[in-house]
Amino acid sequence: MQNSLWLVGIEKLPINKLTTSLNCDVCIVGGGLTGIYTAYLLAKKGVNVVLLEGNSSVGIATTGHSTGKLTPQHDAVYAKLLQSFTVGETQRYYHANVNAIESAISNLPIELYQKADSYMYATTEQGKKTLEDEIEAYKTLSIPGFETLETELPFEILSSIKLPNTAQIHPTNFALHFAKLAMKEGANFYVNSRVTKVVIDEKTVYVEDDLQVSFNHLVLATHYPIEAVKGLQIAKLSVDRSYLTATKTSELLKGQYISVDSPSRTIRTALINNQPYFIYGGSSHIAGTIEDTQNYYETLQNEVVSKFDLPKPEYLWSAQDPNTADSLPYVGPITENESNVYIATGYRKWGLSNSLVAGEIISSAIIKEKHEAADIYNPSRNQFGKTMLRMLNLIGFTVANLTEGYLTRMDAPKCTHLGCRTRWNDGDETWDCPCHGSRFDKFGNVIEGPAVYPLDLK
């Protein structure tokens, strides 16, 4: 079984299971960074908030399986965004992330984050071309990054873009910090309380053990929305899975790195209990489509030894994140008509800073304040051509996987979301669904939605 470096020795917060039905002003489903930060911002404004988390702790799901880079350098996204958005809109994406990071870390104890320069690098001609386009986008958008060949990497690179003065965090401790602040401000958190049904017309969510929570506003901060039929997110979001490792090292890097080559690689260091760790990861595939994931871990382990002259990593973990058609997350009302139900998803593996932006956008909407980036993050934004193409592709992909599962994996358990046959993931020992990325442990318990019910393993 794999284990994330960020989950070792974390604090156990005193949060109970929901035991009675409740009414609240804002119900937040999901205790990752998105849900926690939204709860914190709302509770600080005196709003009555209930947060329901299906796991035994908050901050341990995707947030606790990330790389912990808190930066607006979201790999080579700015050239891509300029294909779908205007210069002004793309600048607002950048500034929303910069401002949200600054605001979150402004009063943070210094041990909760470190300053680190962010680098994107290329070792191939194709990667070099990607960086040439990206630096042009930086110039157009006045992003203060620049090209350099000076890095701490122990191998030759062809090009890199440095964005100075960004941050890195221990993502779980960071999330737990804001969870404690939110609860101190009066937010009510519950763990082991999985929401199994959302009935928007009744303004009620149904929780395991026959409990209900009634709300005026609902925030689905479940990573992949558990209600994804409304607004058709189910046909708009694809889900990619990637791999990470950590090994003891003797020194800390000043920078944090990501390659734009294929397969990509991500690099940073972290100090855990005075011990420096080298974190190395990458590769990507559509969630639920690969059985032999052990192979991904082995490749990374071998590279740590051969390229960085370090021992074989002792921590191995993986995670997944949804993507949108135009590379900008969906944050805001689930549909134009349901303005009291919010989603926050599609972070494309840059959801730590985007969770903070999401918290700001959703809390502003609830307290009726304007947020400068709400329109560009709006899930109903008009990207008709791109979105239609994506929807056709994803519907085709889902139908192909559904059919393939019934033809070739009849004995694999059926996902409780829409009935696709799951696939065994040997590296993580989980049952993963190729259709929408739901995951289950070897006993069938839900690890990750959109599924909300366990597998029938009989």
Ligand X SMILES: Cc1cc2nc3c(=O)[nH]c(=O)nc-3n(C[C@H](O)[C@H](O)[C@H](O)COP(=O)(O)OP(=O)(O)OC[C@H]3O[C@@H](n4cnc5c(N)ncnc54)[C@H](O)[C@@H]3O)c2cc1C
DSSP code at position 25: S
Cα dist from 43 to 34, 109, 173, whole Å: 14, 20, 20
Q: Give CA–CA dist 420/406, Å, rounded.
A: 8
Indicate which single residue of 26, 30, 170, 427 sits in contact with ligand X (rule: CB under 6 A): 30
347 binds ligand X (CB under 6 A): yes
120 binds ligand X (CB under 6 A): no
Output the six-digit token pair for 290.
């690969």
Nearer to ligand X, 66 or 364 (CB): 66
Partnered with residue 331 across adjacent β-strands are 344
The total of other beta-carbon atoms located within 10 Å of residue 308's CB is: 16
Q: Are 167 and 115 in contact (CB under 8 A)?
A: yes
Pairing verdict, β 439-441 and 430-432: antiparallel
Q: Give CA–CA dist 76/137, Å, rounded.
A: 9
CA dihedral (214, 218, 221, 225) in degrees, to 10, reads 100
Q: Give CA–CA dist 445/454, Å, rounded.
A: 5
Measured from the CB of residue 332, what is the shortest distance to ligand X in angstroms?
Answer: 14
225 binds ligand X (CB under 6 A): no
Measured from the CB of residue 147, what is the shortest distance to ligand X in angstroms?
Answer: 22
Indicate which single residue of 114, 353, 416, 422 sits in contact with ligand X (rule: CB under 6 A): 353
For the chain, the farthest-separated pair of C-alpha atoms sits apart, in whole angstroms, at 60
Indicate which single residue of 2, 73, 259, 355 sits in contact with ligand X (rule: CB under 6 A): 355
Q: Give CA–CA dist 13/57, Å, rounded.
A: 8
Measured from the CB of residue 132, what is the shortest distance to ligand X in angstroms?
Answer: 24
Query: Per CB under 6 A, which region of 60-68, 79-87, 383-391, 408-416 contacts ligand X?
Result: 60-68
Query: Per CB under 6 A, which region of 134-142, 219-227, 287-295, 433-441 contacts ligand X?
Result: 219-227
176 binds ligand X (CB under 6 A): no
Query: Per CB under 6 A, which region of 102-110, 155-163, 215-223, 410-418 contacts ligand X?
Result: 215-223
Q: Are 39 and 63 in contact (CB under 8 A)?
A: no
Indicate which single residue of 78, 113, 174, 350 sits in contact with ligand X (rule: CB under 6 A): 350
Indicate which single residue of 92, 223, 265, 371 sits in contact with ligand X (rule: CB under 6 A): 223
Measured from the CB of residue 192, what is the shortest distance to ligand X in angstroms?
Answer: 9
Residue type at position 179 = A
- The site that binds ligand X (CB under 6 A) totals a number of residues, namely 38
Nearer to ligand X, 128 or 285 (CB): 285
Tell whether the torsion through CA atoms of 212, 218, 223 and 228 is positive or negative.
positive
221 binds ligand X (CB under 6 A): yes
Q: Give CA–CA dist 237/345, Å, rounded.
A: 9
121 binds ligand X (CB under 6 A): no
Nearer to ligand X, 31 or 231 (CB): 31
Indicate which single residue of 5, 29, 181, 361 sits in contact with ligand X (rule: CB under 6 A): 29
Indicate which single residue of 4, 34, 245, 422 sits in contact with ligand X (rule: CB under 6 A): 34
Cα dist from 400 to 29, 73, 282, 405, whole Å: 31, 35, 27, 8
Partnered with residue 423 across adjacent β-strands are 432
Nearer to ligand X, 43 or 226 (CB): 226
Pairing verdict, β 113-122 and 255-259: parallel
405 binds ligand X (CB under 6 A): no
Query: Per CB under 6 A, which region of 55-63, 301-309, 411-419, 437-445 contacts ligand X?
Result: 55-63
Spell out, one character per residue from 300 to 339, where the chain touches ligand X: x when CB under 6 A holds, - when not: -------------------xxx------------------
62 binds ligand X (CB under 6 A): yes
The total of other beta-carbon atoms located within 10 Å of residue 76's CB is: 19
- Give backbone dihedrals phi and psi of 371, rounded to 5 degrees, phi first: -115, 135
Query: Per CB under 6 A, which region of 65-73, 128-136, 178-186, 379-387 contacts ligand X?
Result: 65-73
**For binding to ligand X (CB under 6 A), which residues are involved?**
29-35, 52-55, 61-63, 66-69, 194-195, 221-223, 226, 242, 244, 319-321, 347, 349-353, 355, 449, 452
